[in-house]
Each structure stands twice: as structure tokens, then as C-alpha cells.
Amino acid sequence: MDNYYNIDTHVSNSDLGRLQNLINGIDPFSNANMQNIFDFGSLVDCMLLEPENVIYSEKRLVVPSGGDVTFDDQSWARAISMRNAGRKDRILSMYIKNMSAQQTLKVDKFNVEYMGNMFDIPARCKYDLCSTSMRMGADLKTTACTSLKSFKQTIEAMDYDRQGAWYMDLGNLDNFMFIGISKTAVNGNHEVFHVAFDRNSDLYKSGLRKYQRLAYMYKLLIL
């Protein structure tokens, strides 16, 4: 796996998220539960997009930082069930077939405007799925949501809209989709949710406002 998650001078959406947490008085590195959630999400991602990094015989995931993660039987079984749901989903399967997986993009001078101020920052992102020729991208999420309505609400509450706008603008994409696989199985099946948006959508516009503000603060306070 690549070294995308190592320390880098190029600003990522996750860096903006950590800055937001600091502004809110939250230690961005102290929540062990969030790390567990991230590890599980990475496991399902890799099962679908980077299976070479999943050691099935040992219930182990090879992670970018070099410290592999081993999962208990219950978590592993749930991840496999969610993987199977993802494989059966027509839209996700089509995207996997026609798009590049886990592509990293770095832009040395990413132009941003905030309240009439024009500036540039070194920026980066890593797409779960992307096609530059189709100018489309997608991000896979594992979610506690059990309905499309709640997943849409989570996109705004968890600032996924900021991520989507950041990824769209960095890669000059016209369309983006969040694909959520529910962690809860109903009658043995995990629901798969799809939320697509373009530059005219409210989700893009709200995400744009969020990253513009944080990028400006990042430029002033950190770079």
C-alpha cells in the first residue's frame, strides 16, 4: 500500500477535519473508538477494492502505516457479510469495473477563494473510486444508518459533503457519489445506499463553504 497516510505537507480533507476538531476543543488524536471505526471501514474498503491487503487466513488487514490490524470473529464475519452486499450492488459493481480504485492526487497549488480572498495551498486526496475521463468519483462508507434518509443526514453531520466537494474540486470532477453499506443486517441483508450529487446540488455547495473556510484558516494558522 502507498504512504498516503504518512505525514505530508499537502493538506488533506482529514487535515481540515482535525483542524475543525481543534477549533471545537476536541483532541483529534485521542479517540480510540474512532480508530476502531476507521479500521473496520478500511477492512471493508479493502475487501472490495484492495483484496491483496486482506489476509483472510489470519483475519488481518495490512494498513498503510505499517501496523497491521487483526479483527475478532464477530467483526470479521460482519465485514464479509458487508463485502458480499457490496459485491451484489449493481451500482457499486459497475463503478468498480469502470473506475480506478484508491488513486492518490496531489496538487501543489490548489486555488481556493474565501470571502473574496484568493489563495492557494498544497492539497491532496485519495479517491476510493475515480474516473478522470468520465469526471466522476465515489467514496465507500460503512455506516450505522439503516435508511437512505438517515444516511443523507449523516453526510452533512459528519462533513462528508466537505470531503465530496474537496475531492471534486481537486480532481476537476463533475459528479460524485457516496455509497454507504449499512452495518446492520435486516433479514440477513445489508442495505446499500447511494447519494449522488453534482456542482449544482446543495450538498456540493455546503461542502464547498465548509472546506473554503477551513482551508483559509489552515493557510493562516499552519502553513
pTM, two decimal places: 0.92
Confidence category of residue 5, pLDDT binned at 50, 70, 90: low
Residues 108-134 have a mean pLDDT of: 96
Report d(CA 186, CA 59) in Å as an integer. 24
Instruction: Name which of 48-52, 136-140, 143-147, 184-188 the model is least confident about.
Output: 184-188
For the chain, the C-alpha Rg in angstroms (whole number) is 17
DSSP lists the bridge partners of residue 121 as 110
Report d(CA 123, CA 166) in Å as an integer. 9
Confidence category of residue 3, pLDDT binned at 50, 70, 90: low
With a CB cutoff of 8 Å and minimum separation 6, the contacts of 220 are none
**Domain boundaries along the sequence of the chain:** 13-221
With a CB cutoff of 8 Å and minimum separation 6, the contacts of 209 are none
Is 3.40.50.360 the CATH classification of the domain at 13-221?
A: no
Q: What is the pLDDT of residue 31?
A: 63
Locate all alpha helices (DSSP H) within 9-56, ordered by sequence. Answer: 13-23, 32-49
**Listed residue (126, 121, 132) closest to 2, CA to CA:** 126
- Please list, residue by residue across 11-32, b when 16 or more beta carbons sit within 10 angstroms of its beta carbon and e when fewer do: bbbebbbbbbeeeeeeeeeeee
Residue type, position 184, single letter: T
pLDDT tens digit string along 20-74? 999 888 876 666 567 888 999 999 999 999 999 999 999 999 986 667 999 999 9
Residues 122-128 have a mean pLDDT of: 97
Confidence category of residue 1, pLDDT binned at 50, 70, 90: very low
Share of the chain above pLDDT 90, in %: 83
CB 85 within 8 A of CB 190: yes
How many residues in the chain?
223
Cα 174 from chain centre: 17
Confidence category of residue 9, pLDDT binned at 50, 70, 90: confident
